[in-house]
Homo-oligomer: A and B are copies of this chain.
Amino acid sequence: MEPKKREYVSDEQLKQYFPDLPTGKLDDYRKKASFDWRRMKLVYDDLESIDLKHRIWKFFEETPVFKHADKSVSLDEERHIAIKRMYSVQNEAFLPIDKLVMNPQCYEAETEAMFMYDSSMTVKLSLTFRMCSNVIRGNGRPVHSQILDDLESGEIGGCFALTEVAHGSNAKGMRTTATYVPEKKQFVIHTPDFEAAKFWVGCLGKCATHAILYAMLYSEGKNHGLHMFVVPIRDPKTLKPYPGVTVGDIGEKIGLNGIDNGFVMFDNYHVSKDAALDKLGGVDDDGNYMTPFKDPNKRFGASMGILSGGRVHITTISTAYLQKAIVIATRYSAVRRQFGPDDSSEEMPVLEYQQQQIRLLPYLASTYAMRIFCNWFSEAHVTMVINGYAGADDNAANRGVEMHALSSAVKPVFGWAARDGIQNCRECCGGHGYLKAAGIGDLRNDNDANCTYEGENSLLLQQTSRWLLSVWAARGRINPADYPYGTLTFLNGADKVLADKCRWSSTKEMVDPANLVYMYKWLTAFTLKQTAEKTERLKKAGKDDFQTRNETQSYNAVALSIVYGENAILNHFYKTVLEFEDVKCKNVLLKLVSLYGAFILEKHLATLYIGGFLSGSQGVLLREGILELCAAVCPEAVALADTLAPPDFCLKSVLGQSDGEAYKHIQSSVMTYPESMSRPAWWRDVIHWRTYVPSKL
């Protein structure tokens, strides 16, 4: 988890990408800032990632199909736009593989730029081309090279069909079957009933021609478990489904409606034996099952490994959404004035109100913590995958285990932080935040998917806690090399830390970054200990493993994984900031570390008392410390938002534009909304309502 060393970037280079912001209503706050908003970008970006984002946004701004619509369009039109945008972007090839290998951070930058503009298009791009290619590359054989070429050239379009109607989380309960018929050298794919239909499959609703399908492999009457197949769904020349395939669209969702999520059922559908992506296990021509793994669970685990990439990806997606929301709400709070001191005729910006600050500024700090973490995390994951292809990592197994545990913890932490942060931003914008043109509602609706897909949050957290429980007993004998991402350092001297008590008596000490890091170490160790002890107690009382796990979920295992994830994020944030060269930026960032750490720790304040770390009214110091930090960060807030902001056309919010002219943008938006000022076509139904209401006779 070491912060990245970056090359020096000059002010001139930065100004080429980021011209001066328009002067106006935000000037006062911008002048108050103690640092350079452009240089601040370098705490998470480098020149290459900045350049990539710049090129992508420029392309969007200049390409007609990326123009914003005047008003919401139909579901069908949303899909149509998403597909046209997707092919346009794919055709640009912004990030060729050689560039990616040279600078894996660019992967994250690309994701960020695209998700900030159009999340549906970006998901489709990733599913149609990349995910399928990755799966085939990792699990296929030479015979699949043609299909790989066709995918990558856009001749065909893929999708990833795992989830069934009645089984999502419990992958082992899937019921789609692939039965091998040696006489024909074919598999027969079959869906027993609608509950086993593949469902939620992104890009399958209208477009995909091929699916990566997970099905139970049967051969010689025996079920060999879940295996992957690449299965033709629709004719790439006509987009009509093949006989034996019932495929359709699952209709509207809460958000992400540009994605054509679909369902598919197979009626004894025959496919060639080569459909099997069987590098990790499968049948030979005669139907004999072979696998390089001795333990079938290991094969299953390896075949599901692709999903951890999805979780890492979601940390970036959640951050991109929150980042937009916090920019909108911060800027608008700085120009929105309401009430004021008794002796003043001038109203005060709502950002100056304590209750507005405490709802916004901790999320502004969170956005920095998350942006810094997910950039590192995405890069670490891409590096792991690349090294995996190259066989270059001798610590790959340990890396994989820790990555799995960490991603299962931080995906929920990020998804929920974005959920709560976006909601606070929405409410902090008052009534106007409820306008669709404010842009926050769509962010919430898109982010909502992050809380349940790629593993429902509460369930994922339990995967992490199982692993943490397994290392608790060995806490004195941890070998750092076995945990290459360093997320278990909180176990160093855990017993000694747990015997410690709070020795601080001022707000300043209480929110000092190093002390917060120390308290998080205590909290993580304590929550693990508490969960381990409850587990022990229940087992002694005769409960089996399943019952014990069930009865240690809430306040224990789930809380444990959350604090473990938060601990990793906080530590990485602090380390990164300590190493940042720009002194002015660093001073502000240290405040953000304090604010972030204190804010997330406050949610666990009761646990700090329960475990005896705090006593008396010490908790008040933490709360007062948060309020003081909010007041200290307030003058920096607009500049901090400027650093995070995408270009105005990408932000697309009447409230959050960089000129601070929220009311003018509202005016322009409502005045030009189609038919805003015209009489409705159905005006007679208002006046002559008696002609159609049900008769009372």
Give the distance in Å from the alpha carbon of A195 to the alpha carbon of B666 in the complex: 10
Give the distance in Å from the alpha carbon of A441 to the alpha carbon of B255 in the complex: 9
Does A168 make an interface contact (CB < 8 A)? yes
Q: Which residue of B lies closest to A558 (CB)?
A: B355
Q: What residues of chain B lie closer than 8 Å to A547, measured between beta carbons?
A: 341
Q: What residues of chain B lie closer than 8 Å to A96, measured between beta carbons?
A: none
Give the distance in Å from the alpha carbon of A167 to the alpha carbon of B673 in the complex: 22
Contact digits for A657-697, partner B, Cβ 8 Å, 1 yes 0 no: 00000011011011101011101111101110110111010
Q: What residues of chain B lie closer than 8 Å to A92, measured between beta carbons?
A: 694, 696
> Which of these, B170, B553, B558, B690, contacts A338 with CB under 8 Å?
B170
Within 8 A of B (CB), among A498-521: none
Flag if B338 contacts A458 (CB, 8 Å): no
Does A431 make an interface contact (CB < 8 A)? yes
Does A493 make an interface contact (CB < 8 A)? no
Does A237 make an interface contact (CB < 8 A)? yes
Q: Which residue of B lies closest to A250 (CB)?
A: B670
Flag if B430 contacts A456 (CB, 8 Å): yes
Q: Which residue of B lies closest to A249 (CB)?
A: B676
Give the distance in Å from the alpha carbon of A336 to the alpha carbon of B165 in the complex: 10
> Which of these, B353, B354, B445, B619, contacts A441 with CB under 8 Å?
B445
Q: What residues of chain B lie closer than 8 Å to A250, measured between beta carbons?
A: 435, 670, 673, 676
Q: Which residue of B lies closest to A341 (CB)?
A: B546
Say whether, besides A88-B694, A355-B458, A670 and B251 are in contact (CB < 8 Å): yes
> Which of these, B237, B336, B355, B616, contacts A554 with CB under 8 Å?
B355
Does A91 make an interface contact (CB < 8 A)? yes
Say whether, besides A605-B606, A610-B619, A623-B555, A248 and B677 are in contact (CB < 8 Å): yes
Flag if A683 contacts B619 (CB, 8 Å): no
Cβ-closest 4 pairs across A and B: A254-B441, A605-B606, A87-B689, A252-B436
Given A83-B689, A615-B615, output 8 extra A-B contacts at Cβ < 8 Å: A71-B252, A91-B690, A173-B347, A342-B545, A353-B553, A354-B551, A430-B452, A441-B448
Does A587 make an interface contact (CB < 8 A)? no
Say whether, besides A431-B163, A676-B249, A239 and B683 are in contact (CB < 8 Å): yes
Flag if B458 contacts A434 (CB, 8 Å): no
Give the distance in Å from the alpha carbon of A683 to the alpha carbon of B676 in the complex: 33
Q: Which residue of B lies closest to A673 (CB)?
A: B251
A122 to chain B, nearest CB (A): 17
**Most B CB within 10 A of own CB, among A163, A440, A553:** A553
Q: What residues of chain B lie closer than 8 Å to A452, measured between beta carbons?
A: 427, 430-431, 433-434
Q: What residues of chain B lie closer than 8 Å to A184, measured between beta carbons?
A: none
Flag if B609 contacts A240 (CB, 8 Å): no
Q: What residues of chain B lie closer than 8 Å to A449, measured between beta carbons?
A: 434
Contact digits for A530-555, partner B, Cβ 8 Å, 1 yes 0 no: 00000000000000111100111111
Flag if A251 contacts B435 (CB, 8 Å): yes
Give the distance in Å from the alpha carbon of A677 to the alpha carbon of B433 in the complex: 37
Flag if A338 contacts B173 (CB, 8 Å): yes
Give the distance in Å from the alpha carbon of A692 to the alpha carbon of B546 in the complex: 56
Q: What residues of chain B lie closer than 8 Å to A553, measured between beta carbons?
A: 353-355, 358
Chain A interfacial positions (CB closer than 8 Å to B) = 63, 65, 71-72, 74-76, 79-80, 83-84, 87-88, 91-92, 154, 157, 163, 165-170, 173, 194-195, 200, 206-207, 236-240, 246-255, 263, 336-343, 347, 352-359, 419, 423, 426-427, 430-431, 433-437, 440-441, 445, 448-449, 451-453, 456-458, 462, 544-547, 550-555, 558, 602, 605-607, 609-612, 614-617, 619-620, 623, 627, 663-664, 666-667, 669-671, 673, 675-677, 679-683, 685-687, 689-690, 692-694, 696
**Interchain Cβ contacts under 8 Å between A and B, 17 examples:** A76-B675, A76-B680, A80-B682, A88-B694, A157-B686, A166-B337, A169-B430, A194-B663, A206-B679, A206-B683, A207-B686, A237-B687, A251-B436, A355-B558, A427-B458, A441-B445, A555-B623
Flag if B338 contacts A669 (CB, 8 Å): no
A590 to chain B, nearest CB (A): 22
A666 to chain B, nearest CB (A): 6
**Most B CB within 10 A of own CB, among A551, A554, A615:** A554
Give the distance in Å from the alpha carbon of A568 to the alpha carbon of B338 in the complex: 30
Q: What residues of chain B lie closer than 8 Å to A614, measured between beta carbons?
A: 609
A181 to chain B, nearest CB (A): 27
Give the distance in Å from the alpha carbon of A163 to the alpha carbon of B430 in the complex: 12
Say whether, besides A248-B670, A617-B610, A168 and B87 are in contact (CB < 8 Å): no
Give the distance in Å from the alpha carbon of A616 to the alpha carbon of B340 in the complex: 44
Q: What residues of chain B lie closer than 8 Å to A427, measured between beta carbons?
A: 451-452, 456-458
Give the distance in Å from the alpha carbon of A321 to the alpha carbon of B457 in the complex: 24
Say whether, besides A427-B457, A689-B154, A544 and B342 are in contact (CB < 8 Å): yes
> Which of these, B552, B616, B669, B681, contacts A251 with CB under 8 Å?
B669
Flag if B88 contacts A554 (CB, 8 Å): no
Say whether, besides A683-B239, A686-B157, A689-B87, A435 and B354 are in contact (CB < 8 Å): no
Q: Which residue of B lies closest to A76 (CB)?
A: B680
Give the distance in Å from the alpha carbon of A421 to the alpha carbon of B213 in the complex: 36
Give the distance in Å from the alpha carbon of A194 to the alpha carbon of B671 in the complex: 11
Give the distance in Å from the alpha carbon of A452 to the alpha carbon of B250 in the complex: 33
Give the distance in Å from the alpha carbon of A314 to the alpha carbon of B551 in the complex: 37
Q: What residues of chain B lie closer than 8 Å to A63, measured between beta carbons?
A: 694
Flag if A437 contacts B558 (CB, 8 Å): no
Q: What residues of chain B lie closer than 8 Å to A342, measured between beta carbons?
A: 544-546
Flag if A696 contacts B91 (CB, 8 Å): yes
Give the distance in Å from the alpha carbon of A661 to the alpha carbon of B627 in the complex: 50
A536 to chain B, nearest CB (A): 16
Give the distance in Å from the alpha carbon of A358 to the alpha carbon of B255 in the complex: 26
Q: Which residue of B lies closest to A415 (CB)?
A: B427
